[in-house]
Copies of this chain bind each other. A is one copy, B any other.
Amino acid sequence: MKPHLRKDIFSSCWVIINDERSKRPNDYVDSNIICPFCPGNEKQTPVAILERKRGNKWYIRVVENKYPALVENNNNVLEKEGIFFKYFFNGRHEVIIETPLHRENFYNIKHLSEIFEVYSFRMNYLYSLKNSKYVMLFKNYGVNAGASLKHPHSQIISLPIIPVRVEDEVKRFRYYFYKYRRCLMCDVIENEIMLKKRVFYIDDFFIVFAPFASRFNFEIWIAPLKHEKDFFNEENFNGLADIFRLVLKKLHRIFDDLSYNMIFHTAPKNVENFHWHIEILPKLAMPAGFEWGSGFYINSVSPEQAIKILKLGKKIN
């Protein structure tokens, strides 16, 4: 069955049904697989869409995902099945192989800044595609974060509909602006700077903080101090690389076996009231039945406590 979307009739959830993705290699489960992202194994991935090279050796490489969540169709097509619909909608799924090295977490500032440039370039391209409503950039690191390959990589998906979580966020930015004529994130940042207890780090350009309603243990957000709706301003990339490296180094020092998801929140097309930010969501505890059934989260480390521990910087596990 071709990958397609299904809308849950009992909730606001959309599900991508994709039998192909069960064939993905997983080097957390099977340590004998040959890493398709390592130099020399380039033939195991689709052809490169983009390569940053030094001499004839690539150091950043972008390919289409071999097991894409969604695929490119010529047109969006609906198929009825009793009272249900299947949506064969356009999408595109790319992988950014961040480094030729199988195990490398801390890039130098220049390399990290170039990764951001590549993100920006590919995201803008995906936004230009027909039926592309939202482009999501994320990274899964470690087995508890749902990664299937260890080799450092991130992913970009172009979606035919604005995801419910993004729409929810956009609505809240818009509502706050109409009510107060101010940006929601700008006010949250002001609030955090005033209260001090959830700020991990601040410089002239960025703030790193644990959000008031942190869903996950040690959840960390990075936001620009200056109001900017999207991530695409290249002037930020060096400063962002600097602060990014600092946060991840600290997290990796405290937790031996860190798994995390990282999600870029940037304004959808034609949305003005937004303030981009990056969410780093460590996966130190598993969501359980209560979370799945309610949509609530239980967080056993308050963001205030998380910031104290992060500032102390001592190893926990």
Contacts and interface: CB of A to CB of B under 8 A. Distances in A.
Of the four ranges (under 10, 10 to 19, 20 to 34, 35 or more), the interface on chain A belongs to 35 or more
Given A6-B213, A9-B172, A195-B82, A261 B289 contact: yes
Interface in A263-305: 263, 265, 279, 281, 283, 285-305
Interface in A62-78: 69
Contacts of A6: 212-213
Main secondary structure of the interface of A (DSSP, over half): mixed
Nearest to A285: B146
A111 interface: no
A13 B281 CA distance: 15
Interface in A109-165: 136, 138-140, 143-147, 155, 157, 159, 163-165
Interface string A1-40: 1000011111111111111111010000000000000000
B69 A11 contact: no
A243 to B, nearest CB: 20
Nearest to A154: B289
How many subunits of this chain does the assembly comprise? 2
A157 B298 CA distance: 12
A198 B173 CA distance: 41
A290 B165 CA distance: 11
Interface of A: 1, 6-22, 24, 69, 81-84, 136, 138-140, 143-147, 155, 157, 159, 163-166, 168-169, 172-173, 184, 187-188, 191, 194-195, 211-215, 217, 261-263, 265, 279, 281, 283, 285-305
Given A1-B304, A146-B287, A166-B293, 7 more contacts: A10-B184, A11-B169, A13-B215, A20-B300, A84-B191, A144-B286, A263-B293
